[in-house]
C-alpha cells in the first residue's frame, strides 16, 4: 500500500477522533446559545461522520478483498451524514416536525449498505459455505432476534398509534436494528470466536450503534429524548470505530476453511443463542414477551435441531472418509496409513517384558503372473492373501497391504521366536496352490521379521529392519529371515546404505577410483589400468564394490554411479596421459549400455579432460545386454565409431558367450579368473583357454587374462597365447597417487619363471 495513501488515512482518522473529543466536551457543560449548538450539533457531530466516511472510502483504494465492504460502509455513513443535515437544517426548525420525514429515508437507508458490508466481510473470510455454516448463522440470527425482541425491543415493536406511515416507520427502526443485531451474531456464529481485529472493531461499532438506537427508541417512545445529549456519543463512537476498523484492516485476511471449524470457538455463539431461545420460551409461558420473540426462539431451536442432524451426517461422512483413507481399495485390508498408526500405538507400550514384532511379506513370482496373465489376474491373486492369512492370526494382530505385492503383519505382545514361527506358518499358507484364470499357480513369499523395542524402537526403524530382513531372505531364497543387527555397523542395512550412497554421489570426497595395472605378457609393458570404485564411508571406512554395487543396484543408482566413476577415471588418466599414454578401463552397467545418451556424454567427457578416444576402454559383462540387446549394440557401435575401445568382461561365466562374440562389437575379451587361476594344473582349463585364444584372435580381438595371482600362471597364459595379464601377481588395486609412482618403475619383461 502506498505510504501517502496510508498517511492520508491516518491524518483523517486523527481528525475524526479529535472532533469526537471536542463534541464530548459539550455533552455536559455546553455554552449556551444557538451558535454553539450549531457548532456542536451541526459542525462537530457531522465532522465525525464525514471523517469516518472518508477513512472508509480511502480504504477502498488499498489492495485487498475487503474493499467492497469499506465502500458499503462509507456509503452507509454518508447516508447518516445526509440524514443528520436534513434533520438539523430542515426538519428540526419546523414548529410541527413531520413524522415520517425525508430524514427518515436517509436514516433507514443507512442500514442497507451496513448489511452489505457485513456480508462482504464474511465472504472474504470463508472460502466455501457448507450447510452447517449456514445453519450456524441461522441459529445465531434467530437466537439474537428472539433475545433482542424479548428483552430490548419488545415495547418499540408494539407501537400502533398514528398514521400507517408513522406506524410503519416506527416499526422499521427496531426491525432494522433486530436484523442488524441478528446479522452481527450470525457472523460470529459462522466465523466462530476469533482474533480478527477488523471484525472485532466493526462488531464493537455495531454494538455501540445498537445501544444508541435501543436507548433512543425507549426515550423517543416516552418523548424525553434531547438532542446533543450523552446518547449522541454512542453513534459517534460507532462511526469512529468503523473508521478505525477500515484504517487498520489487514489487506490479506486469513481465509477460513471447513477444516478449521472445530472446537468451542465455533460452538460458543450458536450455543449461547440456543440457550437464550430456550430461556425465552420458558419464561414466555405467561405471554410476557412479544409473540415475535417466541416465534424467533422456536425457529432458533428448530434450526439447532437441523444443525444436529447435519452434524451427525458430517460426522458419519467423516468417519467413512477416514475409514476409506485407512483401507486398501483393492484388498479391503488396512493400508500403510493404518499400519503406521497402529505401529505407533504398539511401540508406545512395547517393552522387554511385552515385545512386539513386525513381519514384512513380499510375494515371489508376482511379476511373472502380472506379465503373463495380466493385471486383473494379479489383482485376483492379491485379493486372496487376506482370506488365506487372517485365520492364522490372533485377534489383536493387524494384517495390512503396503502396496504392490508387499504385505505386513503387526504382532503386539509377541517375541521373536513366536513371530518367526508365525512367519513360517504364513509362508506355508501363501505357498498353497491358487487357481487364477483357470491356471493352477504356486506363489512363494519372502518374509522379514523384526522385533521391538530391541533392536527397533521407532516405527521407521522397525519397518527398516523388517525390510532389510525381507530382502536378505529374498536374495538368499531362505523364505523367512529374522533381522539381526550387524555388530560391525550394519553392512547389511540395505536402506541405510542406499541413503548413504545418495549422499556420497552428491559429494566430491567420498567416492574414489583404485587402479589395477594391465601388462603385456611378452615384454611387461603397462598397456592399461582398470578403474575400480571405492567408497570412503564416513562411518564404515573404505568399502569395496561388493558392498557398494548391490546397494546401488537396488536404489537404481548404477547409472549415476558409473557416470561418477567415469569422471574420476578420466580425471586420473589426464594426469599421466601426456607422459605415459596408458588407457584406463571403466565398467558399465546395464543402465549405461542401454543409455542412448552415453556416446555423447563420453565424447564430452573426453573433450573436457583433453583426452583422445583411445585413452578409454569401456567394459561390460554379457548380462548387461540381456534386457535390450538391440539397443545395447547400437550404443556400443556408436562408442566404437568415436574410437573408444570396448571390452567383454568376465568371459566364461555366462551361457551365451559364442553368440555374444558373434554379435557384439568388441575390441577386447577378458577371461574370468575362474578359467585362469588353475590353468597351470588343470589340462581342461588350459584347453579351454587355448581354443578361446585362437577364436578371439581369428575375430581380431585381443585377450586379457584376469586373476593372475602368481608368476607361474602368468607364464602358462603367455605360452597359451594370451596378450595381457591382470592380477595380484602384477599389482593390487591402488590409489591414483600410488599408481603414478608405480608407473615410474622400470619395465620388467617376462623372463624365466617370473613376470
What is the mean predicted confidence (pLDDT) over 560-576? 91
What is the mean predicted confidence (pLDDT) over 578-598? 84
| The domain made up of 336-485 is a member of CATH 3.30.70.270 | yes
Summarised one tens digit per residue, pLDDT across range 234-274 is 888 888 988 888 888 766 555 444 444 444 455 555 555 55
Q: Give this prediction's pTM.
A: 0.44
The whole-number pLDDT of residue 594 equals: 72
Band (754; pLDDT cuts 50, 70, 90): very low
| Peptide bond between residue 453 and the one before it cis (omega within 30 degrees of 0) | yes
CA-CA distances (angstroms) from residue 35 to 22, 40, 138, 410? 15, 9, 49, 90
61 has a pLDDT exceeding 60: yes
700 has a pLDDT exceeding 50: yes
| Peptide bond between residue 100 and the one before it cis (omega within 30 degrees of 0) | yes
655 dihedral zone (left: phi>0; alpha: psi -120 to 50; beta): alpha
Q: What is the mean pLDDT of the chain?
A: 78
Q: In terms of pLDDT, which residue wins out, 380 or 321?
A: 380
| Peptide bond between residue 721 and the one before it cis (omega within 30 degrees of 0) | no
**Domain 336-485 matches domain 559-732 at the CATH topology level:** no
495 has a pLDDT exceeding 70: no
334 has a pLDDT exceeding 50: yes
Band (319; pLDDT cuts 50, 70, 90): low
| Peptide bond between residue 455 and the one before it cis (omega within 30 degrees of 0) | yes
Band (399; pLDDT cuts 50, 70, 90): very high
Q: Which long-range contacts (CB under 8 A, 24 or more apart) does 22-29 make?
A: 23/48, 23/232, 23/233, 23/236, 24/233, 26/228, 27/228, 27/229, 27/230, 27/232, 27/233, 28/230
Angle at 348 between CA 343 and CA 353, to 5 degrees: 105
The whole-number pLDDT of residue 375 equals: 81
Residue carrying C-alpha cell 434533520: 87
The partner residues of 516 in beta bridges, in order of sequence, read 530
What is the mean predicted confidence (pLDDT) over 160-170? 66
Summarised one tens digit per residue, pLDDT across range 111-130 is 888 888 877 877 777 665 55
The whole-number pLDDT of residue 755 equals: 39
Number of H helices, E strands in the chain: 29, 16
Terminal Cα-to-Cα distance of the chain (whole angstroms): 85
Contact between residue 550 and residue 536 where contact means Cβ atoms under 8 Å apart: no
The whole-number pLDDT of residue 324 equals: 66
Summarised one tens digit per residue, pLDDT across range 498-527 is 777 888 887 767 899 999 999 998 888 899
Rounded Cα distance between 680 and 630, Å, is 39
294 dihedral zone (left: phi>0; alpha: psi -120 to 50; beta): alpha
* Alpha carbon 674 to chain centroid, angstroms: 51
Summarised one tens digit per residue, pLDDT across range 608-635 is 999 999 999 998 876 666 556 677 778 8
The angle that helices 494-505 and 545-554 make with each other, rounded to 10 degrees, is 90
CA-CA distances (angstroms) from residue 322 to 126, 325, 400, 459? 24, 5, 16, 21
Band (296; pLDDT cuts 50, 70, 90): low
Mark 31-62 as b/e (b = at least 16 C-beta within 10 Å).
eeeeeebebbbeebbbbbbbbbbbbbbbbbeb
The whole-number pLDDT of residue 738 equals: 92
| The domain made up of 559-732 is a member of CATH 3.20.20.450 | yes
Rounded Cα distance between 474 and 446, Å, is 5
pLDDT above 70: percentage of residues in the chain? 72
Rounded Cα distance between 344 and 358, Å, is 12
Highest mean pLDDT among 40-54, 246-260, 361-375, 382-396 belongs to 382-396
Rounded Cα distance between 442 and 365, Å, is 9
**Cell representation of residue 739:** 599408481
637 has a pLDDT exceeding 60: yes
Which of 138-142, 417-421, 547-551, 717-721 has the weakest average pLDDT?
A: 138-142
Phi, psi of 649 (to 5 degrees): -95, 155
Query: Residue ranges of the domains in the chain?
Result: 1-125+195-253, 132-192+256-325, 336-485, 559-732
Contact between residue 297 and residue 281 where contact means Cβ atoms under 8 Å apart: yes
Rounded Cα distance between 654 and 340, Å, is 44
**Cell representation of residue 398:** 493387524
Amino acid at each position: 500500500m502506498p505510504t501517502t495513501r496510508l498517511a492520508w488515512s491516518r491524518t483523517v482518522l486523527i481528525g475524526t477522533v479529535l472532533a469526537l473529543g471536542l463534541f464530548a466536551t459539550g455533552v455536559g457543560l455546553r455554552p449556551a446559545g444557538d451558535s454553539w449548538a450549531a457548532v456542536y450539533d451541526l459542525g462537530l457531530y457531522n465532522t465525525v461522520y464525514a471523517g469516518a466516511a472518508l477513512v472508509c472510502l480511502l480504504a477502498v483504494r488499498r489492495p485487498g478483498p475487503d474493499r467492497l465492504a469499506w465502500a458499503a460502509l462509507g456509503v452507509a455513513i454518508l447516508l447518516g451524514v445526509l440524514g443528520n443535515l436534513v434533520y438539523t437544517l430542515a426538519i428540526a426548525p419546523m414548529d410541527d416536525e413531520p413524522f415520517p420525514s425525508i430524514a427518515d429515508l436517509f436514516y433507514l437507508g443507512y442500514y442497507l449498505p451496513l448489511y452489505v458490508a457485513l456480508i462482504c466481510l464474511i465472504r472474504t473470510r470463508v472460502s466455501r459455505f457448507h450447510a452447517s455454516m449456514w445453519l450456524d448463522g441461522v441459529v445465531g440470527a434467530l437466537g439474537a432476534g428472539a433475545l433482542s425482541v424479548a428483552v430490548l425491543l419488545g415495547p418499540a415493536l408494539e407501537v400502533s398509534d398514528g398514521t400507517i406511515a408513522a406506524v410503519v416507520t416506527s416499526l422499521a427502526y427496531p426491525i432494522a436494528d433486530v436484523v442488524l443485531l441478528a446479522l452481527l451474531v450470525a457472523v460470529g456464529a459462522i466465523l466462530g470466536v476469533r482474533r480478527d481485529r477488523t471484525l472485532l472493531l466493526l462488531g464493537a461499532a455495531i454494538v455501540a450503534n445498537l445501544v444508541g438506537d435501543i436507548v433512543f427508541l425507549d426515550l423517543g417512545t416516552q418523548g424525553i429524548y434531547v438532542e446533543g445529549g450523552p446518547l449522541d456519543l454512542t453513534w459517534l463512537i460507532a462511526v469512529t470505530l468503523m473508521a478505525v476498523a477500515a484504517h487498520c484492516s489487514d489487506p490479506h485476511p486469513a481465509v477460513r476453511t471447513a477444516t478449521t471449524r472445530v472446537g468451542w470457538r465455533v460452538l460458543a455463539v450458536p450455543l449461547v443463542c440456543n440457550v437464550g431461545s430456550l430461556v425465552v420460551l420458558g419464561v414466555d409461558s405467561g405471554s410476557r414477551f412479544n409473540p415475535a420473540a417466541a416465534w424467533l426462539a422456536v425457529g432458533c431451536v428448530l434450526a439447532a435441531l437441523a444443525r444436529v442432524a447435519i452434524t451427525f451426517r458430517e460426522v458419519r461422512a467423516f468417519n467413512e472418509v477416514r475409514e476409506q483413507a485407512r483401507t486398501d481399495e483393492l484388498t479391503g485390508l488396512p493400508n500403510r496409513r493404518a499400519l503406521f498408526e497402529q505401529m505407533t500405538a504398539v511401540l508406545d507400550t512395547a517393552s522387554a517384558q511385552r515385545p512386539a514384532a513386525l513381519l514384512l511379506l513380499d510375494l515371489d513370482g508376482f511379476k511373472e503372473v502380472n506379465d503373463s496373465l495380466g493385471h486383473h489376474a494379479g489383482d485376483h491373486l492379491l485379493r486372496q492373501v487376506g482370506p488365506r492369512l487372517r485365520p492364522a492370526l490372533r485377534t489383536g494382530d493387524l494384517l495390512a497391504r503396503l502396496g504392490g505385492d508387499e504385505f505386513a503383519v503387526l504382532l503386539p505382545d509377541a517375541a521373536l521366536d513366536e513371530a518367526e514361527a508365525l512367519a513360517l506358518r504364513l509362508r506355508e499358507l501363501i505357498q498353497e496352490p491358487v487357481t487364477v484364470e483357470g491356471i493352477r499357480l504356486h506363489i512363494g513369499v519372502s518374509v522379514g521379521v523384526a522385533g521391538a523395542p530391541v533392536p527397533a524402537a521407532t516405527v521407521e526403524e522397525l519397518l527398516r529392519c523388517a525390510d532389510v530382513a525381507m530382502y536378505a531372505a529374498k536374495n538368499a531364497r531362505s523364505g523367512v529371515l529374522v533381522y539381526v543387527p550387524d555388530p560391525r555397523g550394519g553392512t547389511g542395512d540395505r536402506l541405510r546404505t542406499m541413503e548413504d550412497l545418495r549422499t556420497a554421489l552428491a559429494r566430491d570426497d567420498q567416492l574414489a577410483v583404485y587402479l589395477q595395472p594391465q601388462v603385456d605378457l611378452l615384454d611387461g609393458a603397462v598397456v592399461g589400468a582398470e578403474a575400480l570404485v571405492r567408497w570412503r564411508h564416513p562411518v564404515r571406512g573404505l568399502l569395496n564394490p561388493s558392498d557398494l554395487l548391490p546397494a546401488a543396484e537396488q536404489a537404481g543408482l548404477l547409472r549415476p554411479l558409473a557416470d561418477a566413476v567415469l569422471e574420476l577415471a578420466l580425471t586420473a588418466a589426464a594426469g599421466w596421459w601426456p607422459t605415459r599414454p596408458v588407457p584406463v578401463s571403466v565398467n558399465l552397467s546395464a543402465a549405461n549400455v542401454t543409455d542412448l545418451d552415453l556416446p555423447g556424454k563420453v565424447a564430452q567427457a573426453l573433450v573436457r579432460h583433453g583426452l583422445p578416444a583411445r585413452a578409454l576402454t569401456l567394459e561390460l559383462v554379457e548380462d548387461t545386454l540381456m534386457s535390450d540387446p538391440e539397443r545395447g549394440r547400437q550404443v556400443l557401435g556408436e562408442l566404437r565409431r568415436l574410437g573408444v575401445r570396448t571390452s567383454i568382461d568376465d568371459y566364461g561365466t555366462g551361457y551365451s558367450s559364442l553368440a555374444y562374440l558373434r554379435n557384439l562389437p568388441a575390441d577386447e575379451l577378458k577371461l574370468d579368473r575362474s578359467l585362469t587361476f588353475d590353468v597351470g594344473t588343470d589340462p581342461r582349463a588350459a584347453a579351454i583357454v587355448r581354443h578361446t585364444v585362437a577364436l578371439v584372435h581369428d575375430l581380431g580381438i585381443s585377450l586379457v587374462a584376469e586373476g593372475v595371482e602368481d608368476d607361474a600362471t602368468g607364464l602358462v597364459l603367455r605360452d597359451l597365447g594370451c596378450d595381457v595379464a591382470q592380477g595380484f601377481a602384477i599389482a593390487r588395486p591402488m590409489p591414483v597417487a600410488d599408481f603414478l609412482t608405480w608407473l615410474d618403475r622400470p619395465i620388467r619383461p617376462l623372463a624365466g619363471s617370473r613376470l
